[in-house]
Amino acid sequence: MRTVTAAWSTRAADALLRREPVVGTRWAYEWATLLKGVDQVRRATGDQRYLQYIRSNLDRFVHDSTIATYSREAFDLDSVAGGPLLLSLHRETGDERYRAAAQVLGEQLRAQPRTPSGGFWHKRIYPDQMWLDGIYMAGPFYAELAVAFAEPSALDDVARQVTLIAERTRDERTGLLRHAWDESKRERWADPATGRSPSSWGRALGWFAMALADILELLPARSAQRDRIAPIFGETMAAAMRVQDEQTRLWWQVLDQGGREGNYLEASASAMFVYAAAKGVRLGHLAPTHLDSARQGYDGILRRFVSASADGDITLHGTCAGTGLGRRPDEPDMTYRDGSYEYYVHRPLETNDHRGLGAFLMASVELERASGTR
């Protein structure tokens, strides 16, 4: 087994700084996830190079109280994913532009369309649909705003979003959550009885697990919201650990179909579960055995997905490309994403994908903390 050292988080972050001085041309959740990983390396090391890197990338979008290329009227929860970065930059620099931009994203959440049960639509183009991804995109930011501005009703709403989607997407047989839920049951991928999508996709549940770990860290030590969310986190992680591959200690693209023809082990979901498990143990919400599983999973990531070149570049292989459900209104019907097993296992794999690399940085920092090297 490879020893977890501080080198992995900093080596991967330093390689990123050299390889991609600019990480995005539009306001997007993919590079926001990546930069949140860099921000965790910054907090662990105190290295100001990482702060400057994050700031230089966000400054390309943040102008006074506006965010370039961002559209509030799209009501896209993915667009809120950069909110924690704005709050972090405001704390570190005192620059009011970042707080004003964060408030712009907060206003979107206050106006976000909702399902009849009160769940946030994932996007305006997906009416009455909640996706697990959206809990990560919006939940931690929403909770951080609520704590900062002492808004208990907003914290109640965070817990409401978590509990609602957990109840409506859970597969009673496996305990795993399905990718999404359509309360209207009109979407073609929706089960006519439950509204659930057909499959338990690895990264979707990984987003959800990371979100709950991050939200729990923000909540007051004794709160009704914590009492509601903590059991869901425990149940979710227990279900995820049951489908951890016995040989590689990684996680599959379709979680409950391990070893089935076409299924593959996937980097981003594996890193997300490692992060959530290690952080959950640190926060006291998970048993120490989860840390053992996280360490085994991290070692599997290093063996299977990470390569290092002689010039110091660190490459992460094996991350599933962008993956969704249904179709956008401007897309032809042949592109319909039905959420089936066949759909997920035919998604291509990417190298140094921002989602996977961001999760790897977060997982590295957490395990380095657990090993005492941070």
Round to whole Å and give the CA distance between 88 and 138: 15
**Which residues lie across from 337 on neighbouring strands?**
326
312: region left, alpha or beta (phi > 0 left; psi from -120 to 50 alpha): left
Round to whole Å and give the CA distance between 365 and 371: 10
Q: What is the 3-state secondary structure (H, E, C) of 205-256?
A: HHHHHHHHHHHHHHCCCCCHHHHHHHHHHHHHHHHHHHCCCCCCCCCECEHH
Q: Tell me phi and psi for residue 280, to 5 degrees.
A: -60, -40
**Which residues lie across from 180 on neighbouring strands?**
131
Contact 139, 119 (CB under 8 A): no
Pairing verdict, β 306-308 and 180-182:
unpaired
Instruction: Based on the residue annotation, tell me whether 157 is a catalytic residue of this protein.
Output: no
- The residue behind tokens 């089936």 is 340
Question: What type of residue sits at position 289?
Answer: T
- Cα end-to-end span (Å), the chain: 20
The tokens for 327 are: 């179709």
In 3D, which of 215, 58, 38 has the Cα closest to residue 136? Answer: 215
State the DSSP code for 73. Answer: G
- How wide is the angle at C-alpha 253 spanned by C-alphas 214 and 231, nearest 5°? 35
In 3D, which of 153, 128, 154, 130 has the Cα closest to residue 141? Answer: 154
Catalytic residue among 128, 133, 182, 299: 133
The tokens for 352 are: 């140094």
The catalytic residues are: 133
